[in-house]
Amino acid sequence: MEYTIYTDGGCSLNNKMMDCPGAYAFIITTDGDVEIAKECEIEFSTTNNRMELAAAIQGLSWLIGKKIEGLESHDCVVITDSKYLKDGYHEYLPIWKNNGWRKSDGSPVLNQDLWKMLSALSPEFNSLRFQWVRGHSNHRQNCEVDMMVQKKLHELRKPRLSESRKKVLSREVPV
């Protein structure tokens, strides 16, 4: 059996600083496109790339956490619109591990904690691969996880009423 995990992550301020709220989402399907899980969570003080990684890690962790019998004999493909995630996993992860989590210029790998978590999840499957799709390109599940992330980010941006203001607004106005 093959599991497919559709992932997306994003931040409200897509910058490289660890100071913006973000969200990640995943949808998991089995052979025949049967949906078995769908989740979206928020994190504060994060980056876009961390959210892309978190989506994949949480989706894989969800599958592993279900203790599916024989999971190690199943294949898993992660569909992502993040070349950072796809290329990082297939092209750079083995090199980073061999270089002591250092890039070719000797600097430490960014998001090393999450890359290590992702690497540790890989042996749980017969095969794990990442496939890139163009974001916002009418790929149904990619658009759905993107909408899940954008909805969470929109909720974060909504102004919150203070408790005292809520009380004032809830009082009946005499006529």
Q: Please identify which of the residues 10, 22, 52, 88 carries the catalytic annotation.
A: 52
Active site residue 9: yes
Could you give the CA distance from residue 84 to residue 76 in angstroms, rounded to a whole number? 19
Active site residue 32: no
Q: Please identify which of the residues 32, 146, 154, 172 carries the catalytic annotation.
A: 146
Query: How far does the chain reach from its first CA to its final CA, in angstroms?
Result: 67
Q: Please identify which of the residues 8, 10, 22, 59 carries the catalytic annotation.
A: 8
Active site residue 72: no
Q: Please identify which of the residues 59, 74, 81, 88 carries the catalytic annotation.
A: 81
Active site residue 139: no
What angle is formed at CA 52 by the lines to CA 12 and CA 141, rounded to 5 degrees? 95
Residue 28: partners with Cβ closer than 8 Å, 6 or more residues away? 3, 4, 5, 6, 35, 36, 37, 38, 59, 62, 63
Q: Please identify which of the residues 9, 10, 59, 88 carries the catalytic annotation.
A: 9
Active site residue 52: yes
Residue 102: partners with Cβ closer than 8 Å, 6 or more residues away? 96, 108, 109
Q: Please identify which of the residues 2, 113, 136, 154 carries the catalytic annotation.
A: 136
Active site residue 81: yes
DSSP state of 158: S
- Give counts: helices (H), strands (E), the chain: 6, 5
Query: Which are the catalytic amino acids?
Result: 8-9, 52, 81, 136, 146
